[in-house]
Structure 1
Amino acid sequence: MDRRRFLQLSSFCVFALSSDKVLSAEQSKNHNMFNLRVVSTTDVHGFLTDFDYYKDASTEKFGFSRTATLIEQARQEVKNSVLVDNGDLIQGNPIADYQAAVGYQAGKPHPSVQVLNLMKYEVGTLGNHEFNYGLEFLDNVLKEATFPIINANVYDVKTKQNRYTPYVIQERQLIDEQGNKQSIKIGYIGFVPPQIMVWDKANLDGKVYVEDIKQTAEKFVPEMKKAGADLVICLAHTGPSDKEYVVGEENAAFHLADVKGIDAIVFGHSHGLFPHKSFQTTSTLVDMLNGTVNGVPENMSGYWGNNIGVIDLQLYYLNGKWVVNHATAHIRPIYDNEKKAATVENKPEITALLQPVHEATRKFVAQPIGKSLDDMYSYLALVQDDPTVQIVNQAQKDYVENYIKSIPELKDIPVLSAAAPFKVGGRKNDPTSFVEVAKGDLTFRNAADLYLYPNILATLKVKGHHVKEWLECSAGMFNQIDPNKTEPQGLINWEGFRTYNFDVIDGLSYEIDVTQPARYNGECELINANSERIRNLQFNGKPIDLDADFLIASNNYRAYSAKFSGTGEEFVAFLAPDENRQVLANYITKQTKLQGAITPTADKNWRLAKIESDKPLDIRFETSPSEQAKNFIKTRSVYPLVDKGVDEVGFAIYQIDLTQ
């Protein structure tokens, strides 16, 4: 990486500039100097209120209504500040679902944009989920913003021009350390992962295309400088990666620090925190203390408004231009996990603005859809077959079996279904994030809890060997267990795998041998070609025919990803006209009318394989610490479990016996 910028000298931070000139501490006193704070949000996902619509209860742990107070505090602490948003704003919460289903049709302004307007954001950018509802919906939302929303790497197919404004340069009057006004031109540029063309293919194919993030930055940043930008702030809806740069990569935040001319980077997408003690990296170019990468300050402020990002820049005027002399980045939470207390209250103006849509959303998700004879809790979803995944697979399988009756070339092919647990503790950072749907009357709130995303149902035509490899990738959810080790061993691979990739495939049976190394990593890249974790894979009680045809009901994200074996455009049999969540809600309604209620009890079609060992093994996994979880686990676990207390994050730890 280009170490073009900052060099620390003794106790005072002085930085090497691209002009190869260094300003000493004494010299800096003789130059105009001011401080600028960049306050940021990312991945708000429509979580505008401090209210959990899935549980119909207030919360202190997320919600822009509290974030706004934190923003206000951060602004008041300094003379000069700017406020920016990094995308994934309009999707992800029942408020967003309500707006897409009802508010938009009624011509109501989007509440996510309204609150940013009220807080007077300088600029925003687009995230990948902005495209979930289609380009027309997005275009209408963007018109409502009183601040520019930019993107530099999405292009129109017909014109080959940027579909959105690639960057903006705003002139600001700031107050320097002597109390004088100084004029500076701040440039902002925004990016989105090229993978939106896969994830939202149905909405985007033939309409737009997306260029590489880093290459696009290298194209436009010099242009911005030439146009007069004194400072360039990058709003990058992309995650971090320690890997070597690859054209078209999804996670380019760290590689953007190599682009000459970028002074600060706000990133997100990964729903993580940076800088933060929880962040894991092997890069020597990452300075966690100051929050810099290759000397460039970078920020990632979590998700759902649970944190804000703060970048503090010290600038001075040298040789006719403003130059960054010192920079630090940090995050600020709305909830203190150690003290178990909120750090701020709601901002009254935001709460008042959102009150009508809050009440409308509560009514929207309270619509009855049916009845369940059993509880659907995801406390054990990562270690055994689970009712919250089971019901989704039942709904998807039923939908496809009916859909293909009128398609001669598909109607006789066996149908399987793949679904993953979406709410099982976040990224081992939220002990309250579990699906909790109690038996009895069900509403749309419960369907939204069971299936978080507005994905579209997609069906793939695959061979039996694709099914096996698909499951091998899913089996990366687990760490390798040493049958000869008596010390505690963690079962769940929280760091290298995402739970939304732990697909359970219904319609067949199988076991997962966790004593074997994972065949694939978290990106479904082959890492151990000779290893196999999937055992006793059977269809209709017999070993699966690896050359036989199968249909797998899934979603558009998985179907077009080309990551899992059997995914990619060439395998897509059809893309349904319905969202997975609506398919689930309709199935619950249908079964309730036919049978009086649904029966979501897991059919135990998969399990972790028995481990042969003559030593006492101590294998552990994390789950919810609630009393409800304890009672459910006590009666529903298929393995012997021992409660081992609570970890430092707040998760309950259970010892699981896989030798029986």
Structure 2
Amino acid sequence: MIFGNKSQLKTKTAIALAVAASLGLTACNSDNNDKKNHKDQIKLRVMETSDLHTNIMDYNYYKDAEDQTIGLARVASIVKSARAEVKNSVLVDNGDLLQGSPMGDYMADEFKKNNNALTDTHPAYKAMNLLDYDVGNIGNHEFNFGLEFLDQSIAGANFPYINSNVICDTNCGNDELDKYDNRFTPYIIKEKVVVDTDGDEHKIKVGYIGFVPPQIMLWDAKNLAGRVEANSIIESAKIYVPQMKAEGADIIVAIPHSGIGNPDDKNPDMENAVYKLTQVDGIDAVMFGHSHQVFPSEKYADLENADIEKGTINGTASVMPGRWGDNLGIVDLVLEKDGDSWTVVDSQSSTRAIFDANEKTPLVTVDKDIHDAVELEHKGTRAYVNAPIGKASANMYSFLSMAQDDPTVQIVADAQMWYAQDKLPENLKSLPILSAAAPFKAGGRYSDSDSDQYVQVDKGNLAIKDAADLYLYPNTMVALKITGNELKEWLECSANQYNQIDPAKTEMQQLINRDGHPTYNFDSIDGVTYKIDVTKPSNYDRDCVAQDITGGSQRIIDLEYQDQPVTADQEFVVITNNYRGFGGKFAGTGADYIVHDFAVENRQVLTDYIKEKSEFDPKTGESAKEINTEANYNWNFKNIDSSVELNVTFETQDSEKTHNFVEANKRRAMEKLAVEDTVPGFAIYSIDMTQELED
């Protein structure tokens, strides 16, 4: 083979050396440019629990049995596994922690017995202190047992608490604070050592800010009036978030105990403010709750500017982890260094469940350390809830509470009426006394984890746990003075619980307006009789805001008191709870209508009523009689006159127990249907709206 002469060879060699040198120089410049353009990147996982409602154990105290679908003791396993998956993580709690389960009631009862003092760390914190929380937010139910109980409880937390929109009034229970001072620490900025994707350590400053609905001043007026005030969530954020940035916060995590809300809501004191909060400049992640729902999920697929694949609202990473420890919320943030600061460049939000509702199987094992930590309080709670109080004449189940008058609501209304007739001031006893109550447990929010959320109190011996099942909340009893017109409009708003039924339509029509009206806003009022005409449109939304409906309020008909039509200016006293009485949403409610505050819990009234009517002997724990626990059916639907075969349906729990109760107690023809694609745990029943069954 001939390679050419030496001069050609030298030329080729020179060219080759030049090319090689050029390539080497290019590679060197490329390395330098890569280093110059390289940005440090941090991946930070933010985890959230919310609305635990003192469900520390995986236990249903009403049934006195293990419950694999709830509990911090189970979601703790996900916390630990999710933390182990990443290099950098923080854990927050959103609030509504101290009230909601019998364990919460037991601790509040012990507090009262010990002259308003907690003698030991609250069990919620005995458990949470094992999980290395970074911060906790204060929810609205934290105020249910008063500021002293709250202060003493959170003192047991090994992590700081924040709230930015509750400020002091004249007597906020802290001598070091003046009027208008923040009652709690509004926000904190914590320095955290993190590892970037290259393995190098950095220090970043994570800011946390917390919020609670301003409506606490209505819901807990008895505990809070004159002691604190509550500012707007959004206005508070606009004040403090810029301050946090100015103080060096690299990222800001908002922890609002608040639901998503309406994108068009212009009320600065809105209860559900998350949508607006995601539009506040400077907030990088929103860990929210209050609504007991899961976000991201298909439920919010139609929410404006929401990306349920990434879990963002208005481009801001957002998550809501259900309730009672059924899910852990996770936001994975990607941060890049920009000069001397860090910027969030990407995010992914998700939730992890502790139970598979479709397969009816647990997805995690229990955390034994938490079981051990609260064993004493768990035993105390079981003993507390099983103390006897009386005897029931019939089963009290709320399976039909949306379809007809209901025994679980009836007994609450009866107890309130019984107490008021004796304790009302004499000048009010001369007026007709009515009693308003609503079903608190009627299928929850109708999700795949709520099918067990029905009152299920069996005939026979009753215990404190049964009174707690019938009346979930530590509300107090109040009396309002209203007119006949306000009474009708109160019921008109309540009737928004039902969809409008077309009498000419043969396709399936769902009776219950679940998405548009929470069941706790479905008041029935005892002492009067009335019917609901569901062929008419509802004149109100879920918050009792009047809609532009031709003809106005038309659903409530045949409204009578003692067989006589109620007149517009006729006066009544209505007994209800402080949440409803001070709420101001329903006609005839609000502080101006309150004529008497009984200063007693509705649940205590219910317990005392059961004891008296059962002739309960506290020494023996025996009852001489059975209390009547059947509904009186003072309200009904107006029969629909139709020329076609209507197909009206409602949903309730899918169980043999439910079906037997429906068959034994139905006031109209009802039939369980074979319908596919139902929410797990729920069944669909048809209901004959054209006529009632004969007695």
State the TM-score bracket (shorter-chain normalisation): over 0.9
Contact 1:273–1:279 (Cα < 8 Å) also in 2:
no
1:415 aligns to 2:433 (yes or no): yes
Tell me how far apart the structure 2 counterparts of residues 604 and 195 of structure 1 sit (CA, whole Å). 33
The answer to whether 1:79 aligns with 2:124 is: no
How much has 1:27 moved relative to structure 2?
9.5
Distance in 2, Cα, partners of 1:575 & 1:623: 36
TM-fit CA distance, 1:29: 7.0
Q: Deviations over 1:591-636 (max 9, x none)?
A: 0118712101111100111000010010000011111111110010
1:322 is aligned to 2:351: no
Per mean C-alpha deviation after superposition, the further-off stretch among 386-395 and 108-117 is 108-117
5 Å matches for 1:88-127? 88-102=96-110, 105=114, 107-127=119-139
Q: Tell me which amino acid in the other structure corresponds to 2:567.
A: D
Secondary structure of residue in 2 paired with 1:379: coil
What corresponds to 2:575 in structure 1? 553
Hey, what's the Cα distance between the residues in 2 that align with 1:601 and 1:346?
Answer: 40
Aligned to 1:497: 517
Q: Does 1:224 align with 2:244?
A: yes
1:442 to 462, 484, 495: 462
Query: Which structure has the greater CA radius of gyration?
Result: 2
Structure 1: runs of 5 or more not aligned = 1-25
Give 1:540's aligned residue: 562
Select 2:593's aligned residue among 559, 568, 571: 571
**How far did 1:339 drift?**
2.1
Following the alignment from structure 1 to structure 2, what is the Cα–Cα distance between the partners of residues 321 and 221?
16
Contact 1:28 1:316 in 2 (8 A): no
* CA deviation profile, 1:350-388 (whole Å, cap 9, x unmatched): 111121111110100001000111111111011101110
Segments ≥4 residues shifted beyond 3 Å: 26-29
Q: Which residue of 2 aligns with 1:32?
A: 40
The question of 1:359 aligning with 2:371 is answered no
Identity of aligned residues (%): 44
Find the residue that maps to 1:410 and give its secondary structure: helix
**Distance in 1 separating the partners of 2:607 and 2:130:** 35
1:654 and 2:690 aligned: no
Report the alpha carbon displacement of residue 83 of structure 1 after superposing the two structures with TM. Answer: 0.2
**Contact 1:510–1:535 (CA<8 Å) still a contact in 2?**
yes
- After superposition, the C-alpha distances for 1:240-278 in whole angstroms (9 at most, x for unaligned) are 023323211111101111111111111111111110112
**In the alignment, which of 250, 256, 259 is matched to residue 280 of structure 2?**
259
> In 2, distance between residues paired with 1:163 and 1:571?
29
Residues 301, 308 of structure 2: 8 Å contact kept = no
1:428 partner amino acid: Y
Conserved? CA contact 1:242–1:282, under 8 Å? no
CA distance in structure 2 between the aligned counterparts of 1:27 and 1:332, rounded to whole angstroms = 38
User: Does 1:133 find its partner at 2:153?
Assistant: no
Does the residue aligned with 1:258 lie in a helix, a strand or coil? coil
Matches within 5 A, 1:251-400: 251-279=272-300, 281-283=302-304, 285-400=305-420
In structure 1, give the amino acid aligned to 2:606: L
2:490 equivalent in structure 1: 470
- Pairwise CA distance, 1:177: 0.7
One-letter amino acid of the structure 2 residue matched with residue 659 of structure 1 = T
- Identify the range of structure 1 (590-599 vs 314-323) with the bigger mean alpha-carbon deviation: 590-599
Q: Which of the numbers 590, 603, 621 marks the counterpart of 1:581?
A: 603
Deviates more, 1:357-366 or 1:540-549: 540-549
Aligned to 2:478: 458
1:90-144 C-alpha deviation (Å, 9 max, x unpaired) = 0000000000001563613211122111111000110000111111111111211
Task: Name the SS of the counterpart of 1:400 in structure 2.
Answer: helix
Contact kept, 8 Å, 2:446 with 2:679, in 1: the verdict is no
- Tell me how far 1:542 sits from its aligned partner: 1.1
TM-score by length of 2: 0.89
| 2:25 alignment counterpart | none
Q: Which residues in structure 2 correspond to 1:27-66 (within 5 Å)?
A: 30-66=38-74
1:246 lines up with 2:267 in the alignment: yes
Q: In the alignment, what sits opposite 1:10?
A: none
1:150-189 equivalences under 5 Å are 150-158=162-170, 159-189=179-209
Measure how far apart 1:305 and its partner are. 0.6
DSSP-derived class of the 1:254 partner = helix
Report if aligned partners of 1:103, 1:109 keep a CA contact under 8 Å in 2.
Answer: no
The one-letter code matched in structure 2 to 1:154 is: V
Distance 1:516 1:638 in 2: 22
How many angstroms apart in 2 are the aligned matches of 1:210 and 1:221?
Answer: 18
Of 645, 649, 656 in structure 2, the residue corresponding to residue 620 of structure 1 is 649
Q: Report if aligned partners of 2:263, 2:276 keep a CA contact under 8 Å in 1.
A: no
Aligned counterparts of 1:485 and 1:348: Cα–Cα separation in 2:
56
What's the CA shift for 1:280?
5.3
- 1:28: how far off? 11
**Matching residue's letter, 2:535:** T
